[in-house]
Amino acid sequence: MKKLLCISLVLALTTLLFLVGCNNEENPPPTPSTFSYVVDIKTDTGKILQNVTVEFLDENGEFLDYKTTDENGRVAVENLEKEAKTALLSDVPKGYQYSESYTLGGTNTEILLTTQLINESHENVRYQLGDIMHDFTVTDQNGNTLTLSQILEDKEMVMLNFWYTTCSFCVKEFPDMNKVYDQHSQKAGFIGLNSVNNQVSINNFIANFDTVYNKYNNTEASPIDVPDLTLPLAIDNQGIENAFGFSSNPATVVIDRYGVISFIHEGALSESQLESLFAFFTSEDYTHTELSGVSQIPGSN
């Protein structure tokens, strides 16, 4: 009797499960009548990109809607009649890499854009703090080819210094710059760019740097012995200085590890300021930072 009862219970439970399964097949969960999505555009520098256009497409690639990123780098669309499957980006600032399309990961999707030096001419460019730098190649006084993108593959920053041979403040700044750069050259790159003189003038300047330095320091009667000038110096034959619009020299620019112009300064820098710049931008815990003046250089005095 007990055996028959157990068999009956098993059969009843099996039947119940079958009926529930059939009922679920006949009545699947309701499909939402409308669809909503949020897309956040992030960058490897942490910079927020506004006004990037995001288009939403269905599974057949048909356009559904579009929005532009707000002050938080976000777009949100609501009440779409069809389910969106992919997103297309446009109006992305130059220097940020992005794909042709992105698969939406549900209702919330995060898209990460990474920086890359811009491979275009400097002509008709006017740089500002926070811009991504254009790539360039020059040749230094020793015949070495210096390409910005290649330097940044191995270094954490590149300092650009704009100068000319008869600029007294440039001459006076060089010994400190040479000294500090030597101490940080394993992690930092340097390119001195001259848009005024030719290569012969630069080589002659380097060969006679002691004499030139004492002339501009009024110490010719009792000459100061300064170390040889070994900074990589090159002709600015691509209009890089013009793109910054400097009104005087020396001028110094720092390109950080992301290829972003992160410091711009007209005028000579002290040894302390130079040391702090190199130390800050090559530090292991560095996060992208834009310094708008010497007063913002961490650790300088």
CATH code, domain carrying 290 = 3.40.30.10
Domain termination residue (choose one: 115, 148, 163):
115
Query: 229 and 176 share a domain?
Result: yes
- Joined together, the tokens standing for residue 258 give 């992301």
What one-letter code names the amino acid at 279? Answer: A
Q: Provide the whole-model pTM.
A: 0.86
In this structure, the number of other CB atoms found within 10 A of the CB of residue 101 comes to 14
The contacts of residue 37 (CB under 8 Å, 6+ apart) are 56, 76, 77, 80, 84, 104, 107, 108, 109
Tens digit of each residue's pLDDT (9 = 90 or more) over 88-101:
999 999 999 999 89
Tens digit of each residue's pLDDT (9 = 90 or more) over 189-198:
999 999 999 9
Once rounded to an integer, what is the mean pLDDT over residues 123-138? 96
- Decide: 201 and 140 in contact? Cβ < 8 Å: no
Please give the angle made by the CA atoms of 270, 262 and 202, to the nearest 5 degrees. 55
Query: 275 and 173 share a domain?
Result: yes
Is residue 193 domain-resident?
A: yes
Which string of b and e fits 154-184 if b means at least 16 CB within 10 Å? ebbbbbbbbbbbebeebbebbbbbbebbeeb
Query: 56 and 196 share a domain?
Result: no
Tens digit of each residue's pLDDT (9 = 90 or more) over 21-52:
555 555 566 556 889 999 999 999 999 999 99
- Decide: 69 and 49 in contact? Cβ < 8 Å: yes
Query: 230 and 95 share a domain?
Result: no
Domain count along the chain:
2
Once rounded to an integer, what is the mean pLDDT over residues 256-261? 98
In this predicted structure, the answer to whether residue 296 has a pLDDT above a threshold of 50 is: yes
CATH of residue 90: 2.60.40.10
Query: 52 and 188 share a domain?
Result: no
Is residue 2 domain-resident?
A: no
In this predicted structure, the answer to whether residue 17 has a pLDDT above a threshold of 60 is: no
At residue 299, the pLDDT reads: 84
At residue 21, the pLDDT reads: 55
User: Coil, strand, or helix at residue 103?
Assistant: strand
Cα 282 vs. chain centroid, distance in angstroms?
Answer: 15
Query: 174 and 252 share a domain?
Result: yes
Task: Give the chain's end-to-end CA distance (angstroms, integer).
Answer: 97
At residue 1, the pLDDT reads: 45
Round to whole Å and give the CA distance between 70 and 73. Answer: 5
Q: What range does the domain containing 39 cover?
A: 35-115
Is residue 53 domain-resident?
A: yes
